[in-house]
Amino acid sequence: MADPVKKGVGYEQLFDLPDNVVGEIFAGDLITHPRPAPRHVRAASMLGILLGGHFDYKLSGRDDGWWILHEPECHLAEDIVVPDITGWRKTTMAELPETAWFEIPPDWVCEVLSPATSKFDRGVKRDIYAREKVGYYWIVDPLDKVVEVFALERERWTLVSTAQDEQVVNLVPFESLPFDLSALWA
């Protein structure tokens, strides 16, 4: 990929990207990176299955459920981000939007690290999620087999737990569901 950063672009430039590239806009700069590798996809997919199967209000029948979605396009102020997995409480977002993107900030975001995205996931994207008052932020590292769980407290991220390898965990905000981390690792 030639230049992963283009300055001063608009939403329309996302449509010109090839299918094998993900594009996000941070403060007017287009950031591109390749589609994720298999270990990344495995971890994100399994989390979506585990959490979605239990907490998705349509599947669980719970009125207090969640929308658990994979790679939604989120328009948050002037930024356009594509988190790996997100969750909105039904009380935050009662219905899915009719647009191809979401303007309501999620209640929970999970980013799965890869070499091309790690600096953004731990940097500008984490800052955007704090600014938008996302309550919980998970960082999943499929190579080191680690999950870091952060909670937003007074507009700052606080590390509330770290789990690794094959632990069985109950992680906020989904602490009612114990799951074995080994399911995430290929």
pLDDT tens figures, 158-178 = 999 999 999 999 999 999 999
Predicted TM-score (pTM) of this structure: 0.90
pLDDT in tens, 35-49: 899 999 999 999 999
pLDDT in tens, 45-104: 999 999 988 888 666 666 678 999 999 999 999 999 999 999 999 999 999 999 999 999
pLDDT at 147 over 60: yes
Phi, psi at residue 109, to the nearest 5°? -130, 140
pLDDT at 2 over 50: no
Domains of the chain: 35-184 (3.90.1570.10)
Q: Return left, alpha or beta for 27; rule: phi > 0 is left, psi -120 to 50 is alpha, else beta.
A: left
Residue 124 burial (CB count, 10 A): 17
- Mean per-residue pLDDT over the chain, rounded: 92
Environment class of 144 (CB within 10 Å of its CB; exposed 0-12, middle 13-18, buried 19+): exposed
End-to-end CA distance of the chain: 27
